[in-house]
Amino acid sequence: MAKKYGRNISAFEEIRSQGFQAKVNNVMVTLTFPSHYAMATGRNVENHGLVGNHFYDPSMKKTYSYTNNYDNIEPEWFEYGGSEPIWATNERHGHRSSVFEWVGSEARVNKRLAFATAGVYSTAYSLTYRIDRMLDWISSDDFNLAMLYYNQPDSAGHRYGPDSNEVMDAIELCNTGVSYLLERIKETPSLNGKTNLIITSDHGMAQTNEKAWIVDVYSVIKDLDVILDESPATLGIWPNGSTTVQEISEAIDKIKPGGFTKYMRDRIPDRYYFKNNPRIAPIYLIADLGWMFKTTDSDYNHLYGMHGYDNEKPEMNPFMVASGPDIMQFSDRQSFNQIDLYPLVCALLGLDKPNQIDGKIDRVLPFMKNPPSDSFVNQFRKYADGTLMP
């Protein structure tokens, strides 16, 4: 899209030409925190437990929210079902990981913290600063894994819409950062020709209409006692106090049809892999593409792009480019499962005792120039399916 508008994406094209580009089949729900942790753990959302950007845990009787940085470092949020992020797996194998603001990296998970981190999330750091810190870390012989998150073009997409000039500006800014990264790698003897590079995203973005495409939930639940797991595109509703699930369901049924689908938790489609988890609310609403839920008496202001919608919608699918000495080259666009990032990184780094995951090592072997041995793959499968425990 950016190239169609005459924008510079030369750094992304350089990586693609030396490796491959892929459409990413991402997890549901297509929100930032669930998607990032799916990539990090190799698990679908119902199995890694970070079920939203904002959600209630009935056993902990607490709410996780992306806005509460210092409350989010409690390990319990990230250890559901024995989840383990790739940087912890790498550390468990005796290596050192460096992680700059990836979801979950601020917490000590299963008593492991990445050896080098940036701490809690902050928007204060420029992309160039993040790249410099990451390269300072990984250029040391002690590190073999570096991970970095940057919030653009997501932030611009929300405020101005996915096809806006501001998003195109943000993409060019990212391209400048990637170009700088490639130059720094080439200038560093310990990295030049030895670095596998993967660039991807957590989700796509859809155009919204904050005046017309609105589902007014507030008007039917304002007199009920409820706890909301909310984003503009998804809404989990918990009964609180004397309010019952039945009362909530009947209230939602009063909303004018159109713009969303209501699910009881056990009726959420199996293909979402998003229902078998006690952190998912008993009533869950998913907006139609571009629609948003209104849950207060205030209107949205300057919100022209959104995600969180059905992961089969093309607008929700992220991209991926990768290249390096161990990465295969493909001239045509590939397809890559988001939960397979974990097994791909494990295979590239020689980590043969993964955590139990949903990702499949067999799906990532075709992307490797020198796939691991049969004995490695066989052992990996046994750990990945839970037959063996790390």
Rg of the chain over all Cα atoms, to the nearest angstrom: 21
Indicate if the alpha-carbon torsion angle 386, 388, 389, 390 is positive or negative: negative
Active site residue 208: no
**54-57 and 260-264 strand pairing:** unpaired
Instruction: Considering the candidates 32, 117, 208, 295, report the single residue annotated as catalytic.
Output: 32
Task: Please provide the distance, in angstroms rounded to a whole number, between the alpha carbons at the two ends of the chain.
Answer: 43
> What tokens does 287 get?
């907006």
Ordered DSSP codes for 332-362: S-EEEEGGGHHHHHHHHHT--SPPS-SS-HH
Percent helix, strand, coil in the chain, to 5, is 35, 20, 45
What's the CA gap between 390 and 381, in Å, rounded?
12
> What tokens does 144 get?
């073999």
What's the CA gap between 313 and 291, in Å, rounded?
13
Phi, psi of 298 (to 5 degrees): -100, 155
What torsion, rounded to 10 degrees, do the Cα atoms 150, 42, 336, 269 define?
-110
Which active-site residues does the annotation give?
Answer: 32
